[in-house]
Amino acid sequence: MDMGGMKKVLNELENGRSWVAVTVKTREGPTKVLETFEKYLKDNGWKPQFKANWWSSNAFGVAMFEAEKGKEHRVVLVKWVVTEKEEVMNVESKDDREGRTEFYALVDMISDDLIFDSVLRHMMSRY
């Protein structure tokens, strides 16, 4: 993954609002995206408390992490699409309302492909 872009992620985690939305292009699938970001969080002192991943049959999806560092708590949304490139396209922090709204929209968009509706209901009730 583009290290310059990943430094922007770290900057928003350290200095931004409660949600950090990251848009990436990747050659990897859902599991590898989740592993890459989880490792990056851990390597930079953030402790992932919860993680989840949703994807569609159209090679795009969203990974979500709740992470803590000291008394700080952040939710990281990683919107990803499988392409030939590895690139962090955009990083932005959002307040709680903006983050939840984006999260609901993303999961709703992907939910047409979800087999386990109980997973969707659980996550919607959580946030």
Q: Which residues neighbour 85 within 8 Å (Cβ) at sequence distance 6 or greater?
A: 25, 27
Task: Pick 104 or 22 by higher pLDDT.
Answer: 22
Average pLDDT over residues 106-116: 68
| Predicted confidence (pLDDT) per residue in 82-100, tens digit | 999 899 999 999 999 999 9
Does the reported pTM lie above 0.85? no
pLDDT score of 121: 61
